[in-house]
Structure 1
Amino acid sequence: RTASGSLAVAGARARVARASRIWVEGKHDAELVERVWGEDLRLEGVVVEMLDGADHLREVLTDFAPGPERRAGVLLDHLVPGSKERRLADDTLRALGGRAAHVLVLGHPYVDVWQAVNPDRVGLTAWPHVPRGTDIKVGTLTALGWPHATQADVARGWARILGRVRDYRDLSPALLGRVEELVDFVTAH
């Protein structure tokens, strides 16, 4: 089995990349998707790219020009009713007009993908509540008692969290289902 739980294909080589893509918000999202679904994505020829934040969604998808053979899957953090991410996704899909039929935007309810990792992987029973106005990563690291003062501290903190993810069982179903749907969508032709 692969880390995603799929049946491993012995001796299989990576497929040439499809025109279709999956976009995620940032580096941590991409690293987590690679950790769990990387083997499967290479077999299917699916490239995961970073948006560098949801604010770039419309520009990225407009430039990509989705179509029947160029599907776009998008995974956003905090895609819940009333969120900034929901408004950006809805505005982008409206702006794409007929091309929106070739785009699937999904998300999870967490403010950051860190929270999609089961908290027991870092010794917690639940992720800490981080007050609004406090950076979610800094607040999480503070609650864990881990260094958090610099960007390098945040990077090391994420590396510790990611290093504890072994496979799909270490992730929330709210993330698992969305990534699986995106993979199915971009490989459906």
Structure 2
Amino acid sequence: MRPPVSHHRPSNEGPSGPRSRRYSADLTPPWKKPQPVPEVPADPGLVVEEPGTGFCGAVIRCEAGTVTLEDRFGKHRVFPLEPRGFLLEGRAVTLVRPAAGPARPARTASGSVAVPGARARVARAGRIYVEGRHDAELVEKVWGDDLRIEGVVVEYLEGVDHLPSIVTDFAPGPDARLGVLVDHLVPGSKEFHIARSVTSDHALVVGHPYIDIWEAVKPASLGIPEWPRVPRGQDWKTGVCRALGWPSDNTGAVWQAILKRVHSYKDLEPELLGRVEELIDFVTGSGGA
């Protein structure tokens, strides 16, 4: 007599044989596993931080296996392109070499289409004046190519107080228009009243609301959250340097470091962009040649 047949299967068997184990050998809790991070192209101007050293700077060069950053004082550091190797706005990212895209028309720093092989035009009689050397250097950095093609020379006043005498000596007319860019041109200010006194059909004075041309550079381009407020009666540049931890005894060197971070019109506030474009159009318009 045969023993009774059991219908109970061992726990390690399924309907069609031994049950395969579904457990992973990795017992690490999910919240402790490394999370994937985004890959970000290391495009020029991208501001990132290398967490191991705390070095924060803008990408100026990306080569096979390395990326070069420049901080706000112009110091360069080269780092390897490693996974999770950088922080972007406080979050870990993996920098990768930018993909080579289709050829696009070359553009000047102001955003204009570049004219290959174009020669500088003989200087016009018209001029653009700005308040100081820093203003002139910034305009040259962004609009220099355009101004040379148009034959427009930029000079500086060394202070808005000299504007009335400069306008008188220049004697603007239909064939010699004068454009002037003034800092902190707000209603009721000293600059506002001086500008009104010299404006005419052939002399255009425009301005931006910033106390100093430094402020027209976007804070994000310098890796700072915002431009600090400086109490009235205190030198603005010195106060800014102290608030941001920059060397306050050499504002000229600080400005050069700021200027290096300006690569194109994208690094400037629109309140400045519109005014400079307006002056160029005025000086080069009909009757300005």
Greater gyration radius: 2
RMSD: 0.7
Q: Note the 1:23-172 alignment, pairs <5 A.
A: 23-93=129-199, 100-149=200-249, 153-172=250-269
Q: Which runs of 5+ in 1 are unaligned?
A: 94-99
Q: Aligned partner of 1:155: which letter?
A: G
Give how far 1:4 is off: 0.0
Give how far 1:144 is off: 1.6
Moved more, 117-126 or 48-57: 117-126
Q: Aligned partner of 2:226: which letter?
A: A
How high is the TM-score relative to the length of structure 1? 0.94
Q: Which residue of 2 aligns with 1:187?
A: 284
Give how far 1:91 is off: 2.2
* Cα deviations by residue, 1:142-183 (Å, 9 ceiling, x for unpaired): 11201112xxx1100100111100000000000000000000
Q: Which residue of 2 aligns with 1:97?
A: none
CA distance in 1, matches of 2:175, 2:111: 27
Give how far 1:92 is off: 2.6
Hey, which of these two has a bigger chunk of helix by percent? 1
* Cα deviations by residue, 1:91-111 (Å, 9 ceiling, x for unpaired): 233xxxxxx110110000000
For residue 101 of structure 1, give the secondary structure of its aligned residue in structure 2: coil
* Cα deviations by residue, 1:28-83 (Å, 9 ceiling, x for unpaired): 00000000000000000000010111000000010000000000000000001011
Aligned residues with identical type, % of pairs:
64
- Aligned mate of 1:12, from 114, 118, 126: 118
CA distance in 2, matches of 1:88, 1:123: 35
CA distance in 2, matches of 1:37, 1:146: 28
For residue 201 of structure 2, give the secondary structure of its aligned residue in structure 1: helix
Give how far 1:126 is off: 1.2
CA distance in 2, matches of 1:121, 1:139: 20
Structure with more contact order per residue of length (Cα contacts < 8 Å, sep ≥ 6): 1
Give how far 1:7 is off: 0.6
Moved more, 104-113 or 123-132: 123-132
CA distance in 2, matches of 1:18, 1:141: 39
Hey, which of these two has a bigger chunk of strand by percent? 2
How high is the TM-score relative to the length of structure 2? 0.62
CA distance in 2, matches of 1:126, 1:84: 26
Which runs of structure 1 show a deviation greater than 4 angstroms over 4 or more consecutive aligned residues?
A: none
Count of residues paired in the alignment: 180
* Cα deviations by residue, 1:81-140 (Å, 9 ceiling, x for unpaired): 0111101111233xxxxxx11011000000001000001122212110011111111111
